[in-house]
Structure 1
Amino acid sequence: MEVTDSKVDLSSIPLVALNVTVRKKLGLYLNPKHTVAADWTAVAETMGFSYLEIKNYETSRNPTKIVLDDWAARNSDASVRKLLSILEEVERKDIVEDLQPLIDEDVRKYLENQKKKAEPPVQVPEVDSCVPRTLERSGITVDDVPGGTPETFDAFICYCQSDFAFVHEMIRELEQTEYKLKLCVFDRDVLPGSCVWTITSELIERRCKRMVVVISDEYLDSDACDFQTKFALSLCPGARSKRLIPVVYKSMTKPFPSILRFLTICDYTRPCTQAWFWIRLAKALSLP
């Protein structure tokens, strides 16, 4: 496949670079059962999913989407190049040819966004009358000192506002006890006034060793929580290792997010294991 820049190595482009339009079109091609062409089941089998997993995916309205999400969550080499190779392997070059312009555009946008993140913002001294001057990514928490070492944390807490009471309990159990852990709670620790997405990505990638994801029905409807979770999963394999810890603290009416289903859950809803809940979570966060 040719992309806008022929030098681009598609094996280095993660699957998260493909936007909703491409994923929907993949579903339109692969979801229907075909008698002469490979469908999503052939793709899932080539990706390494078991027979039982594939049978469970059949109950979904969009099995292609779930397969892509789960594949990206459990495989560090889930790249655009690998996906295209799988489509070619199952003899669906027609999909590759039809989606090539859209994939090219997604890759181009992804690389541009990565370049922007790596470049410091341009600032003209003559029009900047603010003193002292602090880079946006260094002066973002209440304990950051201009020119000093950025504040770091044991864990970033991903939560929605309706679950804030449980976050308070988490602070009491993990920070104010013998564990002495340091949690990054956005509403408490982050200074107002800067771009939410920039701050969040900086904290998750560079300031926090791990991320605790408080799962609830409300979490599933939160755009901010969705961004934080997918950003953490999109990090390189080395940085992603043991990074996400899903926590369920109350019963849910909606399905558990498929993108996290292969991670070990810390479940507060089971009375028989509540006595070990905080010990397990604290030890997981205390690991190097």
Structure 2
Amino acid sequence: MASSSSSSVNYDWIPAIALNYGVRKKLALYLNPTNTVAADWTDIAEKMEFTYLEIKNYEKLENPTKKLLEDWQTGAGATVGKLLSILEQAERKDIISDLRSLIDEDCRIYEERQKELPVQVPEVDSRGQDRGITVNDGHMPEMFDAFICYCQSDFQFVHEMIRQLEQTEYNLKLCVFDRDVLPGTCVWTITSELIERRCKRMVVVISDDYLDSDACDFQTKFALSLCPGARTKRLIPVVYKPMKRPFPSILRFLTVCDYTRPCTQSWFWVRLAKALSQS
């Protein structure tokens, strides 16, 4: 579905992960109830080409629409435009009409963040290596085993991560923004350069404060916007303390490295180090 006359947003290129909690919650309110008159989540699941067994498993969940969207958005071609097209095919234009403004807002936020990249990437490609973007850049760009995505309030845990992974027999090389990136460079440009080209993996330190960070949100969604094979291989979520807020839905399809359980802490660093050491 291309942008309509009532909206300047081009839905066809915006990935479904751009849709935030408010839209997903309202979609669930519309689609979760079994409805003999209008299409519900089961009809949407069929049009998304989920199998009979998959749909039967979703029926056991309290919020099947939420899980359905989380699983569907990881596949190829899962765009906002495709989702709207599916809703139209299911004759649920009432949902589209009610949620249009919220969807447009999420899409515009995503577009604004992405627009930074095409303007700045040529600068990185043509001159970035000469002037350097990390403190140890020389004739060749500095490479890393992992880019660490974190918010400032979690920096103490990042220090512990450095100690456990860099200063031990694992001898890994981490890219920590506050330590390794030169000041005065464009945050969004450096993010794309480091995540896409210089770092084999990305570790996302999840916390309640992370959920409020625009920078963390952008970095995570940028990593997820890479091709499906790359993003599932590259991105590793880490939870190091209990959370009051729900775990971000866009990461639920990835295995989490959990430091909060005492019974697993003894092999936490070994497990994470092995994941980062893979070629």
Q: TM-score, normalised by structure 2?
A: 0.75
Shift of 1:266: 1.1
| AA at the equivalent of 2:78 | A
Name the structure where helix makes up a greater proportion of residues.
2
3-state secondary structure, aligned to 2:145 = strand
3-state secondary structure, aligned to 2:200 = strand
Q: Does 1:56 align with 2:61?
A: yes
Match of 2:187 in 1: 196
Pairs within 5 Å for 1:195-274: 195-274=186-265
Q: Does 1:276 align with 2:267?
A: yes
2:18–2:107 contact (8 Å) kept in structure 1: yes
Shift of 1:193: 1.2
Pairs within 5 Å for 1:114-133: 117-119=117-119
Shift of 1:24: 8.4
| AA at the equivalent of 1:166 | F
Residue 100 to residue 221, structure 1, CA distance change in 2 (3 Å) = closer
Residue 32 to residue 282, structure 1, CA distance change in 2 (3 Å) = same
Pairs within 5 Å for 1:25-36: 30=31, 34-36=35-37
Match of 1:140 in 2: 133
3-state secondary structure, aligned to 1:282 = helix
Query: How many angstroms apart in 2 are the aligned matches of 1:112 and 1:159?
Result: 22
User: What is the RMSD of the two structures over their aligned residues, measured on CA atoms?
Assistant: 3.9
| AA at the equivalent of 2:75 | N
Query: How many angstroms apart in 1 are the aligned matches of 2:241 and 2:112?
Result: 41
Residue 37 to residue 283, structure 1, CA distance change in 2 (3 Å) = same
Residue 70 to residue 287, structure 1, CA distance change in 2 (3 Å) = same
Query: How many angstroms apart in 2 are the aligned matches of 1:19 and 1:135?
Result: 33
3-state secondary structure, aligned to 2:61 = helix
| AA at the equivalent of 2:184 | G
1:211–1:244 contact (8 Å) kept in structure 2: yes
Q: TM-score, normalised by structure 1?
A: 0.73
Task: Give 5+ residue unaligned stretches, structure 2.
Answer: 5-9
When the two structures are aligned, how many residues end up with a matched partner? 268
Shift of 1:259: 1.6
3-state secondary structure, aligned to 2:38 = coil
Query: How many angstroms apart in 2 are the aligned matches of 1:97 and 1:271?
Result: 48
Residue 278 to residue 24, structure 1, CA distance change in 2 (3 Å) = closer
Query: How many angstroms apart in 2 are the aligned matches of 1:101 and 1:163?
Result: 34
Residue 186 to residue 2, structure 1, CA distance change in 2 (3 Å) = closer
**Greater mean alpha carbon deviation, residues 171-180 or residues 36-45:** 36-45
1:3–1:104 contact (8 Å) kept in structure 2: no
| AA at the equivalent of 1:56 | L
Residue 76 to residue 35, structure 1, CA distance change in 2 (3 Å) = same
| AA at the equivalent of 1:68 | L
Pairs within 5 Å for 1:77-92: 77-92=77-92
Shift of 1:39: 3.3
Query: How many angstroms apart in 2 are the aligned matches of 1:238 and 1:277?
Result: 25
Task: Give 5+ residue unaligned stretches, structure 1.
Answer: 124-132
Residue number among 156, 161, 164 corresponding to 1:170 in the alignment: 161
Residue 54 to residue 163, structure 1, CA distance change in 2 (3 Å) = farther
| AA at the equivalent of 1:75 | G
Shift of 1:135: 3.3
